[in-house]
Amino acid sequence: MASSKNNTMVFLFLLVTLLIGSSSAQLSTSFYSKSCPKLYQTVKSTVQSAIKKETRMGASLLRLFFHDCFVNGCDGSLLLDDTSSFTGEKRAAPNVNSVRGFEVIDNIKSAVEKACPGVVSCADILAVTARDSVVILGGPNWNVKLGRRDARTASQGAANSSIPAPTFNLNRLISSFSAVGLSTKDMVALSGAHTIGQARCTTFRARIYNETNSIDSSFARTRQNSCPRNSGSGDNNLAPLDLQTPSKFDNNYFKNLVNKKGLLHSDQQLFNGVSADSIVRSYINNPSSFNSDFVTAMIKMGDIRPLTGSNGEIRKNCRRRN
């Protein structure tokens, strides 16, 4: 009898331990409610200042979260600088001379460290910053799930292979998003983030000169004025991803696609006579549907392979490991 009782106690202990471990691995919208109650106001004030200084920064901060989550999960790995013994993700093809806003993240981290030292991860700062950027530019709000920890490593190779390219066709876009657990609808909704921000000439040059059947001719000519045909000339010249309201988070991006005015090849692929067309039309006809699906997709993206519990670390400086 004693042996049976002991076995029962051991089983209950293991069950409780398992449940505690499981719950610690779950993200929560109230994760920092006691350990860092001023987190949200601290992040938002810094994001507001950055966007007030340069409106484009909102799109750049949102993009940082996207490029981080698609490479081995939302773990802040994108923020790590290269060192003599470590190669990070910043110089990967999709990121070099492209992703930006790292100084803003530094400022946010510094402010958060003053409010609650050693508590909030850089990965979670990216998640909150992305949400705040959308809201400040007129987009929907949502409760951000938190509790991620920071990676101690990064992968330039994974960044090169995992982040969808502006040259991708629809099938490759669907495959890239599917690989991280996101559906076609999630993909179209998240692509709607291109309602804000700008792109470099190098990312859309081939489209405006070569894709005559899928691009509005006057739109192409307008873009050609600031993006010369020859590589090496005007490579870094910028053009708005959303022709109509490039600084406002709305559904005009999708209206542009129907009119063959998607800036990137990957943009126009969302409306090219096949499977994604109906989703694009639904977002044009029902902006609230776009906002709702965008929020759902952002939350799902934030759930991609987070480090939780005792995994990873809480970096003191987002650019380097502790």
As annotated, the active-site residues are: 67
Q: CA angle at residue 77 from 74 to 80, to 5 degrees?
A: 150
- The strand pairing partners of 199, in sequence order, are 239
Q: Are 241 and 263 in contact (CB under 8 A)?
A: yes
Cα–Cα distance, 236 to 234 (Å, whole number): 6
Contact 253, 241 (CB under 8 A): yes
- In Å, what is the CA distance from 56 to each residue of 43, 87, 188, 251? 18, 28, 21, 17
What is the Cα gyration radius of the chain? 22
Q: How far apart are CA 46 and CA 43, in angstroms?
A: 5
195 annotated to bind ligand: yes
CB 233 within 8 Å of CB 289: no
Give the Cα separation of 187 and 183 in Å (integer): 6
Confirm whether residue 242 is marked as ligand binding.
yes
Instruction: Return binding residues for heme b.
Output: 194
Binding residues are 68, 71, 73, 75, 77, 89, 164, 194-195, 242, 245, 250
